[in-house]
Amino acid sequence: MLKSKVVIGLMSGTSHDGVDAAVARISGSGAGARVELLRLSRSPYPRALREKVSKAFTGTAKDICGLDFELGEFFANAALKAVREAGLKPRDIDLIGSHGQTIYHIPGSPGRPASTLQIGEGAVIAVRTGVVTVSDFRPADIAAGGQGAPLVPYADWMLFRKKGGTLAVQNIGGIANVTVVPEALKDVTGFDTGPGCSLIDETVKIISGGKHTYDKGGKMASGGRIIPKMLKELMADPYFRKKPPKSTGREYFGLEMAKRLLKEYRREKSEDILHTLTAFTAESIFLAYKKFVFPRYDIDRVLLAGGGAKNRLLVRLLGGKFPCPVGRTDDAGVPSQAREALCFAVLANETISGLPSNVPAATGAKKRAVLGKISLPGR
C-alpha cells in the first residue's frame, strides 16, 4: 500500500489579488501517484498589500526585499487557514509547495539568458507553519537551460491523462498557457499562449479607479463591441509568431501595455476596450492552437482552468472557435480554481521524492531537473 502525504499547494491568484491554497492527499509519487483534493481555500490580499504587490513589478530592490518576507508571512497564514478549513491541525500536514508571487520573468533570448523572480520567502512559511516547504520552483529549470515556464505540464499529465486520448488543459490566469496531455509523458508539451486576464484586469483597475480588480463574469465587456483596429494591432504582436518553447508574463502583457492602449484609444468606450481585450485573449489562444497544437495533435477536448474560466464572455468566444468540445477541468474532477495550487502540491511531492518534474519540451531545458528549494522548519 502506498504511503500517503497531506500536502498544501499555494498559488498567487489570477489578478495578483490573493492566494489559493489546495489541501491534497497524495499517495506515492511519479506516474503511479494518486491525488485527492481535500479542500480549496482562498485568502484575498488586503488592499494595501495588493497595491504593494502591484507596485513591486516596477519597484526598488528595497521594496521587493521587504515584500518578499511580508508575503512569506501572508502565504504562511493562508496555509494555516486552509488547514483549519480542512478540519486538520498543522501537525497533520507533511509538506507545503509554494509557487510564490511572480515579480518579473525574463524568458531569455540569444545572448540574454533567462531569469525569473518569485517572492514569498519559503523559510518564513516553513518556520511559521512548522511544515517542510518547497518553494522557488523555476530557477532549477533555468539552470538546466530552460525558460523556467511553464512548470505545470508534468502535474497536468499526472492529473488529467487518460488512456488512448489527448486533452488540452488551457489555463487562463494572468497569462494563458496550454498543456497538451497525451497518454505518454514523452509526448507532453506546453507553452504560454499569451495574455489571459492580465490586460483585462489592469484595464478594469484603471478605469474603475481601483474600485474593481477584474471584470466579474465578463459583465462589463459584454456591454461593448470589438474595436477592429485595436484587435488587429494586438494580434500583430511578434510574440504570437514565436515558436514554442516560449513563455511570457505581466511585464509584457500587463500594466504598461494597458496604459498605452487606454491612451491610444481614449476616445473609445471603456466597455468596447474591455470587449476587445477579451476577444484578444480568445483569438490569441485559438491562434496558438491553430499554429502549434492542431498540426501535431488530435485533441479530444479542451479543459479550461484559472480565473478566466469564470468569464462567461471569454468562454463563449472560445467555445465558438474550437472544433472539439470545450469544458472545464471540473469535468475531469479538478475544480478550475484549484488546478494551479493543486499542481504545486504535486510538484512539491515530486521534489521531496527526489524526482524531476520539469518537461523539457515545454520549457526548452536541456535535461530533466528536480525543481524547488527546500526550507526546514527547525526545532
Confidence band, pLDDT 50/70/90 cuts, at residue 312:
very high
Domains, in order of start, for the chain: 4-152+338-375 (3.30.420.40), 157-332 (3.30.420.40)
pLDDT surpassing 70 at residue 2: no
Confidence band, pLDDT 50/70/90 cuts, at residue 15:
low
pLDDT surpassing 60 at residue 244: yes
Per the DSSP assignment, residues forming a β-bridge with 35 are 26
Please say whether the beta carbons of 280 and 172 come within 8 A: no
Q: For residue 359, what are the CA distances in angstroms to 26, 272, 363, 365?
A: 21, 39, 6, 8
Please say whether the beta carbons of 147 and 364 come within 8 A: yes
Share of the chain above pLDDT 70, in %: 98
Rounded distance between C-alpha atoms, residue 112 and residue 108, angstroms = 5
Q: What are the tens digits of pLDDT across the range 104-128?
A: 899 877 778 899 999 999 999 999 9
Q: 260 Cβ partners below 8 Å, 6+ apart?
A: none
Confidence band, pLDDT 50/70/90 cuts, at residue 54:
confident
pLDDT at 111: 77
- pLDDT (average), residues 265-294: 98
Per the DSSP assignment, residues forming a β-bridge with 373 are 135
Q: What is the CA radius of gyration of the chain?
A: 20
Q: 86 Cβ partners below 8 Å, 6+ apart?
A: 23, 38, 39, 41
Q: What are the tens digits of pLDDT across the range 344-363?
A: 999 999 999 999 999 999 99
* Sheet architecture: strand order including 167-172: 189-195, 175-181, 167-172, 301-305, 326-328
Please say whether the beta carbons of 14 and 307 come within 8 A: yes
- pLDDT (average), residues 302-325: 94
pLDDT at 16: 59
Q: What are the tens digits of pLDDT across the range 165-220?
A: 999 999 999 999 999 999 999 999 999 999 999 999 999 999 999 899 899 999 99
Angle between helices 47-56 and 61-85 (to 10 degrees): 130
Q: Map residue 316 onto helix, strand or coil.
A: helix
Q: The whole model's pTM is what?
A: 0.93
